[in-house]
Amino acid sequence: MFHGSALCEVDGDGNVALPGFVAEALRGSPDSGQLIVARHETDPCLVGYGQNHLRTLRRRTERRRIADERVGRDPRGHHRRVRRSFGLVEPLARQSDRAQLPAAMRHLGRIGARALFVGAGDNFEIWNPDLALESEDETLREITAWQIQASGADMANGGH
């Protein structure tokens, strides 16, 4: 399970040190820590998860398709959902506790020089901190403001 939050520096090639809570969740994971990143379904951020989570996503999309059919919803919603869940994704290149965010995903998530990683249980979110500060989610705004303030204090004390 991914739980915690951290503000991380991202270089021009998308390289980032994975936060401790992400690295810890990957240790001993059944899919050998292979990660996938995609655009979040509703929020202006990215979502990352282990490769084995794809099976869970498949079950969820199928349940939603069946529920949509029962109430007569337009099947195009299902196809958009499946396309987003399985077609608009990229592997997250990893070496130990570092990763490289793919350029297309950085573009979709508007990720620049910093990224806010937020644990969300079976996945984690990757936010542009400026967008997180504008979120309707008050808790996300508070976490983001605290992470920015804490990173500023670290920099003032000679940290990274």
Would residue 76 count as lying in a domain? Answer: no
Question: Is the pLDDT score of 154 beyond 90?
Answer: no
Would residue 152 count as lying in a domain? Answer: yes
pTM across the whole model: 0.81
pLDDT at 73: 78
Q: Which domain holds residue 132?
A: 5-52+91-156
Estimate the share of the chain in helix, then strand, then coil, as percent rounded to the nearest 5: 40, 25, 30
Would residue 111 count as lying in a domain? Answer: yes
Is the model more confident about 11 or about 82? 11
Largest CA distance in the chain: 59
Would residue 63 count as lying in a domain? Answer: no
Count of domains forming the chain: 1
Is the model more confident about 32 or about 22? 22
- Tell me the C-alpha distance between 29 and 17, whole Å: 19
Would residue 60 count as lying in a domain? Answer: no
Contact 134, 144 (CB under 8 A): no
Contact 122, 54 (CB under 8 A): no
Question: Is the pLDDT score of 139 beyond 70?
Answer: yes
User: Sheet containing 35-39: which strands, arranged edge to edge?
Assistant: 5-9, 114-119, 124-127, 46-50, 35-39, 89-95, 98-100, 15-17
- CATH number, domain at 101? 3.40.1550.20
Contact 5, 126 (CB under 8 A): no
Would residue 115 count as lying in a domain? Answer: yes
Would residue 142 count as lying in a domain? Answer: yes
Strands in the chain per DSSP E: 5-9, 15-17, 35-39, 46-50, 89-95, 98-100, 114-119, 124-127
DSSP 83-110: IIIIISEEEEEEETTEEE--HHHHHHHT
pLDDT single digits (tens) 79-119? 677 777 676 788 888 887 899 999 999 999 999 999 999 99
Residue 121 — left, alpha, or beta (φ > 0 → left; ψ -120 to 50 → alpha)?
Answer: left
Would residue 30 count as lying in a domain? Answer: yes
